[in-house]
Structure 1
């Protein structure tokens, strides 16, 4: 099979192109050359967080690579057959590389293996420019289940910038033959909202952190109450870790849709009011227009829509550059055809006729 050349500078022009490209390469056994990697960034080329994800997928399909080194602007990735059997993989980024972004590459590959998978990843669980692990577990995983994806993640240790040192064990069951197409285009009823608030740090800070998370939980409830939402439950957690950090995740469940919102708690900069406003305002914006998924979830669904066996439709408020990039990469690798229709109610409907990739 001839090598497919991918321009790493198009559209979003960042790590998403790498993550999706190596996942498609592995699944379709398509050799690739990615050039101009992060060319538009102030610090172009591969960074430790990108290399961790590449190393993970490399293990999953016995790939041979060239250029997988720090600051390289070109990567050759030559996959072999997808690793079969009940396998355990361990990738240690040795930095605060985002574990949720490693999952973005690894999960679509693991579900097409013919046995259960267990993947241990070390790095950052809650870092900037990435979903948080609580968002992945409570927003993305339940939506993925509609495609027939069954997985879970055990957060054994939280990790933050700059040291990382977090650990997550991802367990994945293979799909039954094909991914299901999805119809996520009916907003549903007035939502019940669930919140997840956590802060982690050195043990001596536990009393202070307990007070902060209780204050955040109260402020979030009050703000949502003022907007007419009263079915609210919030789980709180204070943990011990080498570094310090936290996050707030909200999930609105309408019965037919899950709409998420998240914000990181920076121990140096964040206040109770700032994180409350950030996480609530994003959620309320989507609920106001009755979006069926949030914009951050939308770009994560594209690879599953492309691989599913049939037509999927998803309504979303905003089509981000990440979503456009994910569609572009999916169409570079597959015959999946996407369309985006602007609706009169301010929403967008993303439609895709998937290729029906069968499990190996």
Structure 2
């Protein structure tokens, strides 16, 4: 088996997750050293362990060094098998990041799969379940991927306990897609999720979003999560253009007022709206891998993040593609080609 040696010191968990995905999709094994070396707590954390475990099960892989805190591991993939899977982070670790790790391998499988994921569904440093369902999966659908997500139970940090049910169909070949123009603005909608906290907090956040963005501030947009497994507060804004949807989130935290949460979130949305790029910062990073698997594609975005650069360079190690980014209309145009 071909084996690749990777340096994990220049990135976080995203480098590991991308390596796992690419290994499953290409059959190339890897060893990674200095995993998350520059993070405050280096090495594998629970959600990383779950991602490795999930990738190993889906791809019948052999692994070495998979333990909490490990800074190196070896991953040798076997054949990817469709099936009915269940994975739990055992904490509030992100269930959506585990999903993104295994999803490309499952859509390459020969039969449909169902995956139940337990853990965090709305985490500050991960895509929310709403982002996956309403931005990420629709973008993949334009490339030919048929997948659906059902949010069965919300999970917030630190309690976790969220449940996602995902179904994915086989996709024989991804279609190259260009995300160049988002089209005319269709709507901006805000929703606030509250768990174990007063709904008045959510109403204050909603009012700030209404004042700045002009969204509807009706109390029906504040949803109390039941059962409340722990305290949680997430404000979500869906920005719908004719050709593209982006989802932005702001998380309540101790010592930060509802007004600050709302204002920060509104600032994110305004920055996107004032730019000309089709794809937001987070989705731009996540589209690289499926575009590379398709062998071609492009998108426009406002900025080139460090995440995007490190992810692109890793993908180029596994696949015969090249990424390029050039200034475009006040932002950037990213392309992939063989």
| SS of equivalent to 2:31 | strand
Aligned Cα root-mean-square deviation (Å): 2.0
For 2:224, the equivalent position in structure 1 comes to: 238
Match of 1:335 among 301, 320, 323: 320
Match of 1:104 among 88, 100, 106: 100
| SS of equivalent to 1:170 | strand
For 1:73, the equivalent position in structure 2 comes to: 71
Match of 1:277 among 263, 267, 270: 263
Structure 1 residues 246-285: aligned runs within 5 Å: 246-266=233-253, 268-285=254-271
How far apart are residue 233 of structure 1 and its match?
Answer: 12
Gaps of 5+ in 1: 355-360
Structure 1 residues 1-360: aligned runs within 5 Å: 1-10=1-10, 13-84=11-82, 87-175=83-171, 177-201=172-196, 205=197, 208-209=198-199, 211-225=200-214, 235-240=221-226, 241-266=228-253, 268-309=254-295, 311-343=296-328, 345-353=329-337
Gaps of 5+ in 2: none
For 1:357, the equivalent position in structure 2 comes to: none
Moved more, 189-198 or 243-252: 189-198
How far apart are residue 146 of structure 1 and its match?
Answer: 1.2
Structure 1 residues 264-310: Cα deviation after superposition (integer angstroms, max 9, x where no partner)? 123x334331121111111111111222011011101010110014x
Cα distance 1:236–1:116, how it changes in 2: closer, same or farther (>3 A)?
A: farther
Cα distance 1:238–1:157, how it changes in 2: closer, same or farther (>3 A)?
A: same
| SS of equivalent to 1:44 | coil
1 CA distance for matches of 2:170 and 2:220? 32
- Decide whether the 8 Å contact of 1:259 with 1:286 is kept in 2: no
2 CA distance for matches of 1:168 and 1:151? 13
2 CA distance for matches of 1:296 and 1:234? 28
1 CA distance for matches of 2:148 and 2:162? 17
2 CA distance for matches of 1:270 and 1:291? 30
2 CA distance for matches of 1:234 and 1:59? 42
How far apart are residue 75 of structure 1 and its match?
Answer: 0.7
| SS of equivalent to 1:273 | helix
- Decide whether the 8 Å contact of 2:131 with 2:246 is kept in 1: no
| SS of equivalent to 2:225 | strand
Moved more, 123-132 or 233-242: 233-242
For 1:358, the equivalent position in structure 2 comes to: none
TM-score by length of 1: 0.88
- Decide whether the 8 Å contact of 1:258 with 1:292 is kept in 2: no
- Decide whether the 8 Å contact of 1:157 with 1:167 is kept in 2: yes
How far apart are residue 217 of structure 1 and its match?
Answer: 2.6
Corresponding residue pairs, total: 337
- Decide whether the 8 Å contact of 1:120 with 1:170 is kept in 2: yes
| SS of equivalent to 1:216 | helix
Moved more, 213-222 or 71-80: 213-222
How far apart are residue 235 of structure 1 and its match?
Answer: 4.1
2 CA distance for matches of 1:110 and 1:322? 24
2 CA distance for matches of 1:341 and 1:132? 29
